[in-house]
Amino acid sequence: MKRTHRSVRVDPELLATVEDLARQHLVPVGFTDQVEAGLRLLVSHAIEEQTRQAARVVGVDEGRARQTFEKMRDRGSRG
């Protein structure tokens, strides 16, 4: 990701909501602090999603492992 300074367009309704929340001291007041907080939230969300994906993979692998174990156990008890 390039680190260049660019102007951005933000939804006016979103800006109004952020300004209202900033007046209530529920979000950072300064734009730079708001951007940093937003980026931290994005990173946190992405890491949580990675964790959920890994858990799904482990869950699938666990299920397959159990099925394989059951098949092997059943075959062993017949022999």
Q: How far apart are alpha carbons 49 and 1 in whole angstroms?
A: 20
pLDDT of residue 40: 96
Instruction: Judge whether residue 16 has pLDDT over 90.
Output: yes
Neighbours of 34 (CB within 10 A): 17
Q: How far apart are alpha carbons 48 and 21 in whole angstroms?
A: 25
pLDDT tens-digit readout, 39-62: 999 999 999 999 888 888 777 788
Domain positions in the chain are: 12-78
Contact between 40 and 46 (Cβ < 8 Å): no
Residue whose token pair is 């699938």: 60
pTM of the entire predicted model? 0.61
Both structure tokens of 68: 């394989």
Contact between 18 and 34 (Cβ < 8 Å): yes
Instruction: Judge whether residue 3 has pLDDT over 70.
Output: yes
